[in-house]
Amino acid sequence: MTTPTEQMATLQGLRDRLMTWLTTAALPIWWEAGTDRERGGFHERLGLDGGPCIEPRRARVQARQVFTFAVAGRLGWTGPSARAVEHGLAFFRKAYERPDGTFRTLVGPDGATLDDTVVLYDQAFALFALAVAGTVVADPAPLTAAATRLRQRLEGTLKHPLGGFEEAAPRKLPLLANPHMHLFEASLAWVELGSGPDQAAWNALADEIAGLALSHFIDPKTGYLREFFDGEWQPAPGRDGRIVEPGHLFEWAWLLVRWGTLRGRPDAVAAARRMAEAAEETGVDPVRGVAVNAILDDGAPVDSGARLWPQTERIKAAVALAGAAETEAEKTLWRGRIAAGVTALFTYFDVPVAGLWRDKLQPDGTFVEEPAPASSFYHIICAIEELNTAFAAGRLGSVPLAGAA
């Protein structure tokens, strides 16, 4: 039986491998090849030979790469993290920001508008990028103002009377939990900055979305969080209202632990624990050792493929719940799940050019042959930072002395 000291030594080794991969392979190639110095911004994908794909660019990917390079600086990467943030932010605001303060969804490589639609999911990532970029740039005031303007615009045009937001005006159904998860993430990023005249509004938004999740998104019978809803925040009719994504169960769990800890809400932490347990029991394939894409609310499979991002969310949830564990046995359980998640993640990094990744693991255990999507990097680096921060804070347990068994 593995001792806590041995378990921590294993985790430390996995953390060190992730940090080495990140700082010596992933960040360098995505800065050198993934950054478009001619047109601005970042490429959507890199071929598995390391060459960029010249193709339309989604707003969410540009925002995610801004976050990625901001975190790179926090993690001690010696590359030009601040310059990368400023480079990405300049393109993002110039190419995507609309006159009303919202952000369009798609532009060409040259920044020309291809789709001027305002998608709630993209607005969440705009708010998120503005928050994290503000910790890097010399003058964060314009970013704070842009975020305030965007939040107020959303509240003025898309606010739902029962809480949360509509997808569009006029109404478009189904309503979705997923954009709210990222609005929750963005609002928590602003809350955790801890200063500024708009803190009360960001706190209120975070609290509202947490309350909506606890009262409407999460099924009290199963602990699952559903994805699709009717206009009154009830599960969408038919099969859509029964779909559950294990990756999102893990991601919501991570966010609710953060919020519950911040607010002194043990009920939120308990809901997070139940969600993550359900995801582990019915959403992780024991043969491949990976979190699958989608199941139904009775655990029946919907999509047994396994994209990269649910593996990172499994790590984040396990890190959070290990930190919130009430007993040593519970902490040991979640530490084991961290190790399982990191081990699974490394299989996606087995590519010809170090620092890239595969995205889609198929049910037969083979990967789809396609370029590496930049969109995955946000998930990866967030998981690495969560694990690294938990180690530094001692939330996972005592780190063994060098050379200890």
pTM of the complete model: 0.97
Peptide bond into 170 cis (omega under 30): yes
Token look-up 């030009």 returns: 80
- Three-state DSSP at 368 gives coil
The domain locations on the chain are 33-157
Of 255, 301, 302, the closest CA to residue 276 belongs to 255
Supply the pLDDT for residue 405: 39
Supply the pLDDT for residue 50: 98
Supply the pLDDT for residue 314: 98
Supply the pLDDT for residue 197: 80
- Distances from the Cα of 265 to the Cα of 5, 20, 174, 202, 270, angstroms: 31, 36, 30, 18, 9
Supply the pLDDT for residue 334: 98
Extract the tokens encoding 284: 């992780």
- Three-state DSSP at 265 gives coil
Query: What are the mean pLDDT values of the chain's consecutive 10-residue runs (405 residues total)?
Result: 90 97 98 98 98 98 98 97 98 98 98 98 98 96 97 98 96 97 98 88 98 98 97 98 98 98 98 98 97 97 98 98 96 97 98 98 98 98 98 87 45
**What does DSSP say about strands 228-229 and 243-244: parallel, antiparallel, or unpaired?**
unpaired
Supply the pLDDT for residue 338: 98
Separation of alpha carbons 106 and 129, rounded Å: 16
Q: Which helix (H) or strand (E) holds 57?
A: strand 57-58
Supply the pLDDT for residue 400: 67
Supply the pLDDT for residue 325: 97
Q: Are 125 and 60 in contact (CB under 8 A)?
A: yes
Extract the tokens encoding 85: 């943030």
Separation of alpha carbons 339 and 147, rounded Å: 37
